[in-house]
Structure 1
Amino acid sequence: MPDRRPHVIVVLTDQQRWDTTGAGGNPLDLTPAFDRMARSGTYARTAVTPQPVCAPARAALQTGRWPTATGCFRNGIPLPRDARTLAHHFGDAGYTTGYIGKWHLAGEDPVPPADRGGYRHWLGANILEFTSDAYRTVMYDEDGEPVRLPGYRSDALFDAAIRFAADHHEEPFFLFLSLIEPHHQNEVDDYPAPDGYAERYTGRWLPPDLAALSAASPGGTAHQHIAGYLGQVRRVDEGLGRLLDALRSMDLLDDTIVAFTSDHGSHFRTRNSEYKRSCHDGSIRVPLALRGPGFDGGRVLDAPVSTLDLPPTLLDAAGLDVPEEMSGRSFLPLVRDPGADWPEDVFVQVSESECGRALRTSRWKYYVVDPAADGWRTRSGGRYVETALYDLAHDPYELDNLVGLASHRALADGLRARLLARIAAAGEPEPVIEAAPERRAEQRRVDPTVRGFKLAGMRFGHQRKQP
């Protein structure tokens, strides 16, 4: 354990795609503060949520357990009061704990003290998008009294986080800051950026999947909403920069672990009738960077990691024991040694829109759905059917579904076995996964033993004839 325990701050956004960041390939310079964290700290190149729905993802981030294990497998199911959260683990170790922002793990607003996950200091709302809008931020304090904060909403929450750090800088603290941006404002189905920010990004850039799918998806909203969405992302990053500057001014920056991530992404209704709730990277892939003790040095994690792994990683980095009940695994050894033992895939549960399960490796995405299950009522499926297979090395935006191809049957069988093992490890009942109907495509071939092309017997360059 270090001589001085580090402070720990988690900054969680809502519905932010991984490719909104410069580190994730965005060309618009939206996230200079995040990108500096990614360059000088630790950046997870492929970070994946365990569930692309608000409440289940948040339950996993608080407990380090699968949504099916906590019971919060969809929205509208409160986190059990006896669930052990990061607040309990850090609090038991002598940390002052605080929560600011959206909770979405209770059944009402204001959130009763018993439903606050063990956090000592509280300034939040269960569903922040219902109690506030862009320039009217209303949350509830520890006494359940409404508090209106001045400024644009994400600015107001960062200001509150800075005040928390200033008030508790003499003791180790754990702060969870949960923003609503860049989530849409539900009652108007819009992405209200600060004044003048949407105009900066109107007509400038669309992620390739959205550009390809928006015109073909009758309900797709990317062209309508992307400018406001990106404007929100830019303002959030400015808030992150202010938070880091404030920590520096209080001589706390070198002693504070800061983790930045999101609960899930957004596909702007191009994959289904909602913004998320699908297996595609637009839904499940999120930004993830950390800085501070244990994470500085410009490290990049190439192996896929789940944000389910973030809770044990934070405890490990603070020198605290990781509870056996946590399903996630600390990736701190991977930060220290890129060759450390680490799984080659991540597991994803999908609910509400359907009951589905997915496996994502560095190259492949394998997805199954239980066609008879109601995703709103069913925690775990019993009979899944292969629904999608994507070759992410050659189709990174998942536009060509290979499921059922005879050329990929052996590969799919291997992925099916790995997915079944993941389902069992998550504590779910053992299901059946049925193969998709077979189909054939000319010239399709996959050789699982070879990376790249075989060029046996070929020579390159000019061959001079022998005299």
Structure 2
Amino acid sequence: MTSGTKQREKPNVIVFFTDQQRWDTLGLHGNALDLTPNLDRFAMQNTHVYNGFTCQPLCGPARSSMQTGLYPTVTGCYRNTHPLPSDCTTLASVFNEAGYRTGYIGKWHLAGENPVPADQRGGYRDWLASNTPELTSEPYDAVLWDNDNREVRLPGYRVDALTDAAIHYVDRHKEDAFFLFLSLLEPHQQNRLDDYVAPDGYRERYQSRNVPPDLAALGGSAHQHLGGYYGMVKRIDENFGRLLDALKSLHLLENTIVLFTSDHGCHFKTRNHLYKQSCHESSIRIPMVLGGPGFECGGQLRQLVSLIDLPPTLIDAAGLAVPHHFQGRSLIPLIRREETAWPDDVFIQISGVRTGRAVRSRRWKYSVHAPYQDGEREAGSDYYEEECLYDLETDPYELTNLVGLESHRETADRMRERLLRRMEEAGEALPAVTSASVRPGGQRRVAAQEALQ
């Protein structure tokens, strides 16, 4: 069998994974700063998931779902410091079994230490990573560890350096069928500085420009950090373009599935004292684009899609059997326009500094929180209180919390039913949920049919 035949039979797969990137940084979502021309073009030629969401707005838990196809409450990775169990079936183990060369480059955040021990690498055979590069490296000093736990320092701005490593990996293994997971830290903040450090000269391009309405209204750290954040996104897109160019020059582009997505968004301390870990669109809505074999000219999907749906999608797209215990659904039937039942909502688990749960339908957002629960110690709770209800049709930036209004009681009840159903499907025990204190609704009225949207 020639290498060309092998390549045609087994599509390569690359995951280009960013950290803390809002969906509205993309031109396709209305950003006017031309931050993502390469990704926008790639999306228009392939498949753009318009409504993409994380299932857990926190680094480690979201990554555990991306690697295992399971909710964090199932893997036990509901907070950042909990390592991924070594007996989990992962993306790497599925592709390993299918004869793929599997490689991981960048941020891992699913182990308990640096360098990451071999048995905590999720089954990836080729390794160049740091568990937490935000703690072990700087924007112009990328520090990772290789297969033998030797320290490797990569030259250049960190996004460039990791993309260089990915391009070299693709070039070295162009005769193999490979599965490569490239995980950038950016546009996450550099922890030591609590700042978004763009390449030299990039922050200045975007300072005080195109401030989303939620950030403009609520303050937080957006006015201090948004210029650097946008500059990081711009450099990410430039490197995404470089990777596509490399695939094209190596004659691999037509036979390589490429996924671009992120672990969660960023609300710039407008919803709590952190940058995520809330139910709001700024925390949970993420960019999601798929290209390559099976995704060409897929157009724009408007269904609500969760991060947990991506592992089965990649496996299915490669022609492999999706593990029966995965909790997400493959997008392939949607892309093929096949008749298929698809959920009309997405479920979000929130843990870490706080414990909460949320469900998001096309129109409504409903969330509950456990006021007496230590989110660092427990994955969930048997008791929650209503916290938020938003009408995303009239209030897309979630500036008016409708929870407790008499006019919206039926809507909240319907959304509670959705949430409890979703919690049960995810394997959680059904909790008690206390309704919010009643408030007069004023002139507001919600028609019965609207409550179901």
Spell out, residue by residue over 1:327-355, the C-alpha distance to the aligned partner (whole angstroms, 9 max, x if none).
Answer: 11101111111753200000000011211
Cα distance in 2 for partners of 1:181, 1:192 equals 9
Spell out, residue by residue over 1:202-254, the C-alpha distance to the aligned partner (whole angstroms, 9 max, x if none).
Answer: 1212111000100xxxxx11000000000000000000000000000000000
Corresponding residue pairs, total: 447
Aligned residue type for 2:330 = S
Cα distance in 2 for partners of 1:362, 1:254 equals 34
Instruction: Identify the residue that residue 271 of structure 1 maps to in structure 2.
Output: 271
Checking the alignment, whether the CA contact within 8 Å between 2:313 and 2:329 is kept in structure 1 is yes
Checking the alignment, whether the CA contact within 8 Å between 1:259 and 1:290 is kept in structure 2 is yes
Aligned residue type for 2:174 = H
Tell me, yes or no, if structure 1 residue 21 matches structure 2 residue 21. Answer: no
Aligned residue type for 2:263 = D
Instruction: Identify the residue that residue 459 of structure 1 maps to in structure 2.
Output: none
Instruction: Identify the residue that residue 412 of structure 1 maps to in structure 2.
Output: 412
Spell out, residue by residue over 1:426-464, the C-alpha distance to the aligned partner (whole angstroms, 9 max, x if none).
Answer: 11111111211111121101113269xxxxxxxxxxxxx
Instruction: Identify the residue that residue 84 of structure 1 maps to in structure 2.
Output: 89
Checking the alignment, whether the CA contact within 8 Å between 2:7 and 2:255 is kept in structure 1 is no
Cα distance in 2 for partners of 1:448, 1:70 equals 39
Checking the alignment, whether the CA contact within 8 Å between 1:16 and 1:265 is kept in structure 2 is yes
Instruction: Identify the residue that residue 67 of structure 2 maps to in structure 1.
Output: 62
Cα distance in 2 for partners of 1:323, 1:390 equals 36
Aligned match of 2:154 in 149, 154, 164? 149
Closer, same or farther in 2 for the Cα pair 1:24/1:396, shift >3 Å?
A: same
Spell out, residue by residue over 1:288-314, the C-alpha distance to the aligned partner (whole angstroms, 9 max, x if none).
Answer: 001100111041111110011000000
Checking the alignment, whether the CA contact within 8 Å between 1:98 and 1:174 is kept in structure 2 is yes
Instruction: Identify the residue that residue 359 of structure 1 maps to in structure 2.
Output: 359
Tell me, yes or no, if structure 1 residue 378 matches structure 2 residue 378. Answer: yes
Cα distance in 2 for partners of 1:394, 1:63 equals 36
Checking the alignment, whether the CA contact within 8 Å between 2:207 and 2:227 is kept in structure 1 is yes
Deviation at 1:255, TM superposition (A): 0.1
TM-score, normalising length: structure 2: 0.97
Spell out, residue by residue over 1:131-160, the C-alpha distance to the aligned partner (whole angstroms, 9 max, x if none).
Answer: 111110110011100011111100001111
Tell me, yes or no, if structure 1 residue 187 matches structure 2 residue 192. Answer: yes
TM-score, normalising length: structure 1: 0.94
Cα distance in 2 for partners of 1:394, 1:378 equals 35
Instruction: Identify the residue that residue 302 of structure 2 maps to in structure 1.
Output: 302
Cα distance in 1 for partners of 2:148, 2:233 equals 32
Aligned residue type for 1:51 = Q
Spell out, residue by residue over 1:50-72, the C-alpha distance to the aligned partner (whole angstroms, 9 max, x if none).
Answer: 10000000000000000000000
CA RMSD, aligned part only? 1.4
Q: Secondary structure at the match of 2:321?
A: coil
Instruction: Identify the residue that residue 180 of structure 2 maps to in structure 1.
Output: 175
Cα distance in 1 for partners of 2:438, 2:81 equals 39
Tell me, yes or no, if structure 1 residue 421 matches structure 2 residue 413. Answer: no
Larger CA deviation: 425-434 vs 252-261: 425-434
Instruction: Identify the residue that residue 115 of structure 2 maps to in structure 1.
Output: 110
Q: Secondary structure at the match of 1:414?
A: helix
Gaps of 5+ in 1: 215-219, 452-467
- Identity, % of aligned positions: 58
Cα distance in 1 for partners of 2:134, 2:407 equals 47
Cα distance in 1 for partners of 2:317, 2:223 equals 41
Q: How does 1:39-50 map to 2 (within 5 A)?
A: 39-50=44-55
Q: How does 1:196-275 map to 2 (within 5 A)?
A: 196-214=201-219, 220-275=220-275
Cα distance in 1 for partners of 2:330, 2:287 equals 17
Deviation at 1:317, TM superposition (A): 0.3
Gaps of 5+ in 2: 1-5
Q: Secondary structure at the match of 2:441?
A: coil
Cα distance in 2 for partners of 1:449, 1:275 equals 35
Aligned residue type for 2:104 = Y
Aligned residue type for 1:224 = Q
